[in-house]
Structure 1
């Protein structure tokens, strides 16, 4: 089930969750390691990871009693498509403006 861009943007709206994503971009990490790297408690890290997991931005795997989290590239697809739409529209508008300016300068 694919997540919506709004869900992803809401999840990334929190600075701690963005920091978690930045740390996970370096590779999979356990909750304890993330908690050691961030100025928040382990339970808070777990709560943020739950939100990121619900938004499909991270995936979880187990290794013994430890849980590791990693970035889910597929989860970023919804927000990428959202921003790509704006980028495409902006480029189309720029091309139309350039064409108009070119036509004016040759007239």
Structure 2
């Protein structure tokens, strides 16, 4: 069972990933580091707006920034995605088991076995 801290972390990750621009940024960073300027290029928004998206991703632990000379490249932090993936996989397993039990129960009812 997840702790309150785990639940809060998951909420933060899923909230960050709820926005399509942030999901796109995460996907782009999957290919390697990029500066805010590079990340902002395909969007019709200000650099400040893109920086705000990146800050949300940073708070969720999905992105980090390092300092390299004058630039601060952004980097994907896959551990936060792994946490979310683990939760999704566990939920899928639980619901799959529930559906299997329901299928078994419904089959018994159809066969006239009402146990």
- TM category, shorter: 0.7 to 0.9
TM-score under structure 1 length normalisation: 0.81
Q: Which whole-Å CA distance do the structure 1 matches of 2:43 and 2:30 have between them? A: 15
Q: Which whole-Å CA distance do the structure 2 matches of 1:14 and 1:4 have between them? A: 17
Give the number of the structure whose alpha-carbon radius of gyration is greater. Answer: 2
Count of matched residue pairs: 107
Question: Aligned-pair RMSD on alpha carbons?
Answer: 2.5
Correspondence 1:1-107 to 2 at 5 A: 4-97=9-102, 99=104, 101=107
Counterpart of 1:28 in 2: which secondary structure?
coil
Greater relative contact order: 1 or 2 (C-alpha under 8 angstroms, separation 6 or more)? 1
Spell out, residue by residue over 1:10-48, the C-alpha distance to the aligned partner (whole angstroms, 9 max, x if none).
Answer: 111122211211211221111111111222211111111
Moved beyond 2 Å, runs of 4+: 93-102
Q: Which has the higher strand share?
A: 1
Q: Which whole-Å CA distance do the structure 2 matches of 1:21 and 1:82 have between them? A: 19
TM-score under structure 2 length normalisation: 0.76
